[in-house]
Amino acid sequence: MAEPSPQKALSVYLYIPNIIGYIRIIMNCVAFALCYSNKTLFAVLYFFSFFCDGLDGWFARKFNQVSTFGAVLDMVTDRVSTACLLAILSQLYRPGLIFLSLLGLDIASHWLQMYSSFLSGKTSHKDVKDKSNWLLKAYYGQRLFMAFCCVGSEVLYIILFLIADNQSESVLDACLNALKQSSLLSLTLFVTLIGWAIKQVVNIIQMKTAADSCVLYDMKRSK
């Protein structure tokens, strides 16, 4: 198989969705650098970077610039930014183990899903048509449903970051205090909590089904 020319490789790096991915990384770096000194600016930059996650996918389909590099760049950016925010929340609330557990679940489920997809010869970890679980199929098959879960999860984490005080406190106490302050905030917390909860269930199912795929691959290879 012939090696791709440097010009061809460069063109992939300069795809519009990949350029958006680079901008997302810069925004996240700036956001986390300022997260303690300017919470509002952090929230704006972080959420806009998250919004661009859907934007780059639209550009990829619009201009036929879908690439494996772009998909990996997109996923790595998502996982790292969420992991960093969860790590910060683990320092702001007690017990911090809650957020560290969510961090571990997020990374483990997506890593197993990516690896099992690779073993199955799939081009995307979102290809779950051969899976039997209806929720996993709905999550990856319905863009609006997936968007609701992802947006809900990220917005919930941003809200928790914004309402945290300087002293470590219980997550439940912080949420109860926030509910007393504003009916709009209460509604937002309720809606985002639903999306967050569904996403965590999907992560658990995804991790289990991906692990099963790896075991099945080993069984077939040993025959």
Task: Write the pLDDT tens digit of every residue in 1-42.
Answer: 455 656 666 688 999 999 999 999 999 999 999 999 999 999
Q: How many residues can be counted in the chain?
A: 223
Q: What's the CATH architecture for 6-222?
A: Up-down Bundle (1.20)
Per-residue pLDDT of 142-157, as tens digits, reads 989 999 999 999 999 9
Q: Which of 78, 127, 130, 173 is catalytic?
A: 78
Q: Which of 79-88, 91-100, 164-173, 194-203 has the lowest mean pLDDT?
A: 164-173
In this model, does residue 179 exceed pLDDT 70? Answer: yes
Hey, what are 110's tokens? 């997506």
Phi–psi pair at 40, nearest 5 degrees: -65, -45
DSSP annotation of 219: H
pLDDT band per the 50, 70, 90 thresholds, residue 182: confident
pLDDT of residue 221 exceeding 90:
no
Neighbouring C-beta atoms of residue 53, cutoff 10 Å: 20
Neighbours of 165 (CB within 10 A): 9
pLDDT at 167: 64
DSSP H or E stretch at residue 93: strand 93-94
In this prediction, residues 150-172 reach a mean pLDDT of: 88
- Tell me if 23 sits within 8 A of 75, measured CB to CB: no
- Cα dist from 128 to 58, 124, 145, 198, 209, whole Å: 21, 9, 15, 17, 10
Residue 220 confidence (pLDDT) above 90: no
CA atoms of 212 and 218, how far apart (whole Å): 10
Task: Read off the tokens for 62.
Answer: 């619009």
Domain parsing of the chain, residue ranges: 6-222
Q: How distant, in Å, are the alpha carbons of 19, 145, 147, 187 from that of 140?
A: 25, 8, 10, 26
- Does residue 95 have a cis bond before it (omega within 30 degrees)? yes
Q: Give residue 115's identity as a one-letter amino acid code.
A: Y
- Higher-confidence residue of 119 and 88: namely 88
Annotated catalytic residue 106: no
Mean pLDDT of the chain: 89
Separation between Cα atoms, residue 154 and residue 176, nearest integer Å: 19
